[in-house]
Amino acid sequence: MSNIDALSFEAAYAELEKIIDQLESGDLTLEESVTLFERGRKLSDHCQALLDKAELRVSQITESGDVQPLG
């Protein structure tokens, strides 16, 4: 499994949804359940943290195709 801190919000969110499906399917061993539970908690923390610190980035594409920060 990949390092959670490096995950984008989208990827973490998608994995969270998958983990819930797996947990709710109910045919996991105890160890699998607990591993998924822990990873799910970390993923949700990560998502929440990304939301908390998110700040819209605004840039502009020039005629030559360069992208420059705006404002």
Partner 1 sequence: MNYTVTELTEHIRQMFQENYWLQDVTVRGEISNLKRAASGHWYFTLKDEQAQLRAAMWRSSVNLQNYIPENGAMVEAHGYIDLYAARGEYQLIADRIRPLGIGDLYAEFERLKAKLAAEGLFDQARKRPIPYFPVRIGVVTSPDAAAFRDVQNVLRRRFPLAELILSPCAVQGDAAPAQIVAALERLSRFVGVDVVLLVRGGGSIEDLWAFNDESVARAVADCRIPVITGVGHETDFTMVDFVADMRAPTPSAAAEQATPNIDDLAVAISNMRDSITLATQSRIESLRSELESAQRGLRHLSPVRTIATLRQRIDDWNARLEREQHARIRTLRERLASRTAALHAASPQAILARGYSIVTFTDSGERVKSAAEAHAGDGITVRLHDGDLKARVEDWETHEQYRRTLF
| Contact set with partner 1 (CB under 8 A) | 8-10, 13, 16-17, 19-20, 23-24, 26, 28, 30, 33-34, 36-37, 40-41, 44, 47-48, 50-51, 54-61, 63, 65, 67, 70
| In the complex, minimum distance from the CB of residue 4 to partner 1, in angstroms, rounded to a whole number | 14
Q: Which CB contacts under 8 angstroms, 24+ apart, belong to 5-13?
A: 5/46, 7/43, 7/46, 9/47, 9/50, 9/51, 9/54, 12/43, 12/46, 12/47, 12/50, 13/47
User: Which residue, 3 or 68, is less far from partner 1 as judged by CB?
Assistant: 68
